[in-house]
Amino acid sequence: MDLKATLVDVLRRRAENHLIGENARLRAIDLDGDGSHVVLNKVSSPPTWDGPVFCGQIIHVKAGADIQAVLQSLDDDTDEFLVQNVDIGRGARVVKGVLYFAVNRNHVGLIESTAVKASMLERYVTALLRQAGELDAEERIILLARFLAAGEKGLSEFSDLTLSARPRYRSPGAGDLFTRPVGEARDEGATVFDMLRMMGWQDEALARLEAEVPEGGRVEGLLKVFIKDRRHKVRIPRAAIEEVLRNLDPADLGLQGDGREQGGMVKLSVVKDIATEGSLLDPTDAMLRIVEALREWAAAGKIDCRFEGQELLH
């Protein structure tokens, strides 16, 4: 599936005698069944939709019209500040958070807020495409998909290597936690308890830990490796551990450098100055900065986006 092309196709369809892409009401979805709604609110100009990039603004709108606030000045001398419910007016709705994104084929750039993360964008796009009949009930969109050419698009060097064990659940007859492997595609004997033994844990201490794991519970392990020169971390070339990486399940590997590589995929990040309107980001400028970042990463060979010099938003 080409995510950008599929989104554009769905937005060009009609529902209730309106084009979905021209009526935000038709794009509001109650994901949690609690009366709050997630909405694909602002979208890039329709004439640009056949170009390389589609951009949008996702908002999470809270049910009800009241917010919690302190109406006193924080300079007041008082034993406590009174927290009150404030009704912002009939018909108004509180926005819990905003996310901006840009899609080029199956590459997604985004600006998250505290309340609206990439996982909510995944859930929203999944729900939107299910409503349109583009996904079956058991299918879902995973925006953090791994690169097929992880070795080419992965980080060339990193400062931290993290190895994590897949959760293993304790259930009757499932075996001894001391001997069961903690993840697939690992050397034999590589268990959480083996790691703890290497760190000096005695069998008695491990037995006490095992006794605390309830049926259906799990023991998870995480090993972080880095090199330091006095107080500073030393960059490690990928080539130095390439053989080790080939023997690991990508889902259990994390690299931190100029970006993050996790589960066989790379999540890049960059700081951009974005125009604001009061305390809100300017939507158009936010989208432009995301596209700018995608262009920069593509030019540097970090992702395989193609823009062909077309106008992106206007």
pLDDT in tens, 121-145: 999 999 999 999 999 988 888 765 3
Q: Where are the alpha helices (DSSP H) in the chain?
A: 3-11, 118-131, 150-153, 192-198, 203-211, 242-246, 283-299
Which tokens sit at 276? Answer: 């604001």
Among the residue ranges 4-13, 127-136, 162-171, 181-190, the one predicted with the least confidence is: 181-190
Return the bridge partners of 249, or none: none
pLDDT band at 89 (very low <50, low <70, confident <90, very high): confident
Residue 224 Cα to chain centre, angstroms: 21
pLDDT tens for each residue of 99-119: 999 998 888 899 988 888 888
Crossing angle between the packed helical segments 118-131 and 3-11, to the nearest 10 degrees: 50
Residue among 258, 73, 93 nearest 160 (CA): 258
Q: What is the pTM of this model?
A: 0.61
- Min mean pLDDT across 255-259, 267-271, 280-284 is at 255-259
Q: Are 290 and 100 in contact (CB under 8 A)?
A: yes
Mean pLDDT of 5-22: 94
**Quick check: 294 and 301 in contact, CB under 8 A?**
no
